[in-house]
Amino acid sequence: MPRVIWNGSISFGLVNIPVRMFVAVRDHDVRFHLLHARDGVRVHQKLFCPADGEELDHEDTVRGYETSPDTYVVVHQDELDALAPKASRNIEILDFVDIAEIDPVYYQHPYYLLPEERSAGPYALLVQALEDSGRVGIGKLVMRNKEYLAALRPVDGVICLETMRFADEVMPTGEMEKFELDREPTKRELSMAMQLIDTLSSSFDPEKYHDEYREAVMELIESKAEGQEVTMPEAFVEPGKVVDLMSALEESLARAREKKERAG
Amino acid sequence: MKERIPVEVDGLELELSNLDKVFYPQTGFTKAEVVDYYTRVSPVMLPHLAGRAVTLKRYPDGVNGEFFFEKECPAFHPDWVETTTVPSRNERGKVTSCVVENLATLVWLANLATLEFHTQLSRKAGEDRPDSLVFDLDPGPPADTLDAAWAALRLKEALADEGLECFPKTSGGKGMHVLVPLNTPLDFKRTKSFAHTMAQELEKTYPDRVTSVMRKELRKGKIFIDWSQNDPHKTTVCAYSLRAGTRPFVSAPVRWEELEEAQRRADAGALAFEAWEVLARVEDAGDLLDPVLKLKQSL
């Protein structure tokens, strides 16, 4: 069972629904650790000052914001704390908007919200109202000292909270490089493209797609963990007659000698 | 195309593959030459491997390619390869390592591109009973092999003051290893603290040239006397093992007189031995490190 990462409530108008928040996605990237190549010991990172080589603890450091190259404004933790958004345990829905209006580029990270025991009734009501209206709730919440914009949308009878990017974080397509078009597509070309789309149309089935690179890496790791030698598949020659070691080596040694002599 | 040649070694069957593959591009030293070297050096090398858990350093694509540092004996090993279970700091708390008891095992591992064989100091795997003590003398640039040889000679004098005989070998890189035969009941706690004290004493006597502290910034231009390898979890490169450097250099046993001579002539090259030189030396003088396996000394 996933862990609760936040407690609070959804509020809109006079309604208040206590909820618990869970992560909705798992990151499956293969993560490696850095080991010392010589003895396999996991390496540590050290902070040090390049000016005098002194090794530092975290307490010896302050945060600096680079205003121009090599020029920093130092900002202290208590100054940041004073600016932190007021701690709040409330997700206040400000607007309900048509789900089709939100471009997926704004969605950042999904979480699930589940009702507290006594709020199951109002929670189910909100889910159904969202489903029936085809709208999503847009609101703000504070999590880990940071203010987030969020969309609340129904997914399989559960409310999914998507943290969202603020408008100034999304690069407008207008800022992208322009491309030249010598003529508009013809009607005929367009209808051919439409036909092709028609024949390839299907419904989205996420199960169909896999991260094949990750699977290959995990397979490699598992076989190494079992102590298997990992080699790339190669053509296999039928084993010949068993010979003694020295006669097996002789031929290859002679070839190696010859090559070296030729090389000088 | 992969060529596999089934061979018989002392009545045991195994397969050799990719013999023409170049492992040391700078000199053109091939896998066949690696297998050939280990076969020829085996009479003097096997006694130093016997009984011990080995850690393998494998280079499937040669010295310039990716390498694997393996404590675990490959699971697909022939059933005649001896293994032993030793405590480890991994999650399972133990690891099954290869034990090289015979030529066939040595050849089989060489064919798996094992260039370096690293061994534990206790002759019976997993036991707290080091049968020798090792000092790894590692020069921090710009200090070099000659500085390491100088420090080895000073260490020899200090050990002689304690009534102990010791024997040198090259690391196969820039360093020197000094081995003190024990072959008496001692545990790692004792050998490690003794080694640490000796390293500190030398540091006190020659503060400008020697350090007993691992920290890189303190090693600059000095010889770091690594005493910490006297530990049940650690391994040191075995005598006669190849090293994965630019050329097929070997961690080679040497005579004290050779260290003095190299010093006198300021000739670091006199302390670097490639595989073929080591074979000639063994033919001449046998195993210079034989006493390390036999001489009984106590601390």
Order of strands across the sheet with B167-170?
B167-170, B176-181, B132-139, B223-226, B210-211
Q: Give the other-Cβ count within 10 Å of A244's Cβ.
A: 11
DSSP structural state of residue A105: G
| pLDDT score of A238 | 46
> Whole-angstrom Cα distance, residue A229 to residue B98?
14
> Whole-angstrom Cα distance, residue B54 to residue B46?
12
Segment B8-17 mean pLDDT: 89
| pLDDT score of B87 | 77
A70 vs B181, residue with greater confidence: B181
| pLDDT score of B163 | 95
Residues of chain B contacting A52 with CB distance shorter than 8 Å: none
Residue spans of the domains in chain A: they are 6-26+84-169, 184-200+244-264
| pLDDT score of A35 | 84
Report the share of chain B in percent with pLDDT over 90: 77
DSSP structural state of residue B253: B
DSSP one-letter string for A213-231: HHHHHHHHHHHHHTTPPP-
> Whole-angstrom Cα distance, residue B155 to residue B177?
11
Q: Is the pLDDT of residue A228 over 70?
A: no
| pLDDT score of B1 | 38
With an 8 Å Cβ cutoff, are A245 and B72 in contact?
A: no
By the 10 Å C-beta count (0-12 exposed, 13-18 middle, 19+ buried), A78 is classed as exposed
By the 10 Å C-beta count (0-12 exposed, 13-18 middle, 19+ buried), B1 is classed as exposed
Give the CB-side neighbour count of residue B279, counting CA atoms within 13 A. 14
Question: Average pLDDT of chain B?
Answer: 92
Q: Is the pLDDT of residue A229 over 70?
A: no
The answer to whether ipTM exceeds 0.90 is no
A6-26+84-169: what fold?
Ku70; Chain: A; Domain 2 (2.40.290)
Segment A68-81 mean pLDDT: 84
Q: Is the pLDDT of residue A135 over 70?
A: yes
Cis peptide before B142, with omega less than 30 degrees from 0? yes
Contact B283, B275 (CB under 8 A): no
Given pLDDT bands bounded at 50, 70 and 90, which one contains residue B101? very high
By the 10 Å C-beta count (0-12 exposed, 13-18 middle, 19+ buried), A74 is classed as exposed
* Alpha helices (H) in chain B, listed in sequence order: 31-49, 103-111, 145-161, 188-205, 216-219, 256-264, 275-285, 290-294
Segment A78-86 mean pLDDT: 79
Given pLDDT bands bounded at 50, 70 and 90, which one contains residue B44? very high
Query: Which helix (H) or strand (E) is A155 found in, with range?
Result: strand A146-155
| pLDDT score of A236 | 37
Report the share of chain B in percent with pLDDT over 70: 97
Query: Which helix (H) or strand (E) is A116 found in, with range?
Result: none
**Coil, strand or helix at A61:** coil
Chain B residues at the A interface, defined by Cβ less than 8 Å, are 1-9, 13, 15-16, 19-20, 27-33, 35-36, 39, 60, 67, 69-76, 107, 112, 217, 234
The pLDDT tens digits for A181-224 are: 888 888 888 888 888 888 888 888 888 888 888 888 888 877 77
With an 8 Å Cβ cutoff, are B30 and A237 in contact?
A: no
Residue of B7, B71, B120 to mutate when probing chain A, most A C-beta within 10 A: B7
Query: Which helix (H) or strand (E) is B80 found in, with range?
Result: none
User: Among A245-254, B124-133, B160-169, where is mean pLDDT lowest?
Assistant: A245-254
| pLDDT score of A264 | 59
Given pLDDT bands bounded at 50, 70 and 90, which one contains residue A237? very low
